[in-house]
Copies of this chain bind each other. A is one copy, B any other.
Amino acid sequence: MRSEEDEKLCKGFGKNLANVRNQLHWSQERLALESGLARSYISDVERGIRNVALVNIFRLADTLGVDVATLMAFRLSNDNAGNQNEPRSAD
């Protein structure tokens, strides 16, 4: 159950990254070159098979010149996640 949800997050992030990159008309090659990350890594992230960590999330955002919140906003804009958009109450 948890891992299915995790997979959805990774896929959502990857799809959103690809959308942002494509909107800027950047190729995966360009993003790889300018970020210093491997092309195969970028490809894996966009396919949602990598649980990308904090420093690379910032590296990708900085390289693309977008706010990190833009890369993280996929539950609101790029995913059919339904109720996941609602924050859980604190209690």
Q: Interface of A with B (CB < 8 Å)?
A: 2, 5-6, 9-10, 13, 24, 26, 36, 51-55, 57-58, 61-69, 72-73, 75, 87-90
Contact = CB atoms under 8 A, between A and B. Distances in A.
Contacts of A73: 69
B87 A66 contact: yes
A29 to B, nearest CB: 15
A75 to B, nearest CB: 8
Given A68-B72, A69-B73, A72-B68, A54 B13 contact: yes
B72 A89 contact: no
- How many copies, total? 2
Contacts of A90: 24, 26, 64-65
Nearest to A88: B65
